[in-house]
Amino acid sequence: MSDEPEVEPVRTKDVQSFDSEKSTTSTELLGGGNALVIMHERTRYVLRLTRQNKLILTK
């Protein structure tokens, strides 16, 4: 059993787009997991979802 609370996913259509045409939710981005590796200009970044339901981007 996980200590993390179950989070209701937000539908993309409910997310307001601000300055860009593309938007997504963290649930969609992480694909149900708790981490995502992002490669940017040959540098590896990791976006993690914490136990407190916060997002942290590290290099």
User: Domain containing 52 — which CATH number?
Assistant: 2.10.70.10
Residue 22 located in a structural domain: yes
Nearest to 8 by CA among 30, 27, 31: 27
Domain carrying residue 28:
12-58
Write down the pTM of the prediction: 0.62
Residue 24 located in a structural domain: yes
For the four alpha carbons of 5, 46, 15 and 54, in that order, the dihedral sign comes to positive
Residue 49 located in a structural domain: yes
Look at the chain and report how many structural domains it folds into.
1
- What's the confidence (pLDDT) of residue 54? 96
Residue 50 located in a structural domain: yes
- What's the confidence (pLDDT) of residue 45? 97
Give the tens place of pLDDT for each residue, 1-47. 456 556 566 555 555 655 657 888 999 999 989 999 999 999 999 99
- What's the confidence (pLDDT) of residue 48? 97
Residue 5 located in a structural domain: no
